[in-house]
Amino acid sequence: MIDGPRLQPAAGGAPRQLVVFLHGYGADGNDLIEIGRAWQQLLPHAAFVSPHAPEPCGQAPMGRQWFELTFRDPEERWRGVNAAAPGLDGFLDAELARHRLPPAALALVGFSQGTMMALHVGLRRASAPAAIIGYSGLFVLPSGSAPDAVARDIRARPPILLVHGAEDDLIPAQALFMSAQALASLGLAVEWHLSQGVGHGIDGEGLRHGGEFLARCLAAAA
């Protein structure tokens, strides 16, 4: 059972929305939960949760991973997102049930490996989340496959925002454009923002774009 730090709605009372942060490889849930504090003014009725990934990280013993990354096997990301998906999907269902919220009140926000998970799981849920934001990550496909290889798997079509640092040397910015193109070819509405001078991280402008995007999408889904 995965779990992690939480923030209750700034406005008090029962939450009307649920924002779930999915951290990157080698981090844990504490890495992203403070973004929730930054967004509380925009989303005063949202609860935030940032679960720790289920596995200890082989390359960072104090951190966690959604799946192993060796960068030696072109299929490891595809196998990884599929193996980790059921546990995350169950967590999302349990959190929604705990707050007595409908599936449309959910938003997913991923960073790096967490973006891979957010897109993989969010697009395969029976009911679409209100929004998905992916920072510094990519849309995982089977190695060497075109997007239509997963077309039958896509069950949900929420609005998506992709944000990437132009100077990212871990997941190059080209991943932003390739992912946006692949998602659009599957009929998904994708917005994107390239943060100039930013590496593998999130700057203030990227946070602003994300918060405003979530506020807009969650209001539309209410």
How does pLDDT run across 159-203, given as a tens digit for each residue? 999 999 999 999 999 999 999 999 999 999 999 999 999 999 999
Domain count of the fold of the chain:
1
- Does some domain include residue 157? yes
**What is the extent of the structural domain holding 117?**
6-221
Reply yes or no on whether the pLDDT at 34 is more than 90.
yes
Segment 203-217 mean pLDDT: 97
| pLDDT in the model for residue 20 | 98
Rounded to 10 degrees, the C-alpha dihedral 13/38/131/19 comes to -40
Angle, CA of 7, 198 and 34, to the nearest 5°:
10
In this structure, what DSSP letter does residue 136 have? S
Lowest mean pLDDT among 2-6, 63-67, 180-184, 218-222: 218-222
Q: Mean pLDDT of all residues in the chain?
A: 96
pLDDT band at 70 (very low <50, low <70, confident <90, very high): confident
189: domain CATH number is 3.40.50.1820
Which residue would you say has higher pLDDT here, 9 or 58? 9
**What would the pLDDT profile of 132-158 be if each residue is shown by its tens digit?**
999 999 999 999 899 999 999 999 999
pTM of whole model > 0.75? yes
Confidence of residue 48 (pLDDT cuts 50, 70, 90): very high
Does the residue 1 lie in any domain?
no
The predicted structure's pLDDT at residue 1: 78
DSSP state, 135? E
pLDDT at 13: 94
- pLDDT tens readout for residues 80-122: 999 999 999 999 999 999 999 999 999 999 999 999 999 999 9
In a domain, 109, yes or no: yes
Alpha carbon separation from 170 to 16, 82, 119 (Å, rounded):
36, 22, 19
Please give the Cα distance from 68 to 81 (Å, whole number).
10
**Is residue 72 very low, low, confident or very high in pLDDT (cuts 50, 70, 90)?**
confident
| Amino acid residing at 64 | R
- Confirm whether 124 is domain-assigned: yes
Q: 216 in a domain, yes or no?
A: yes
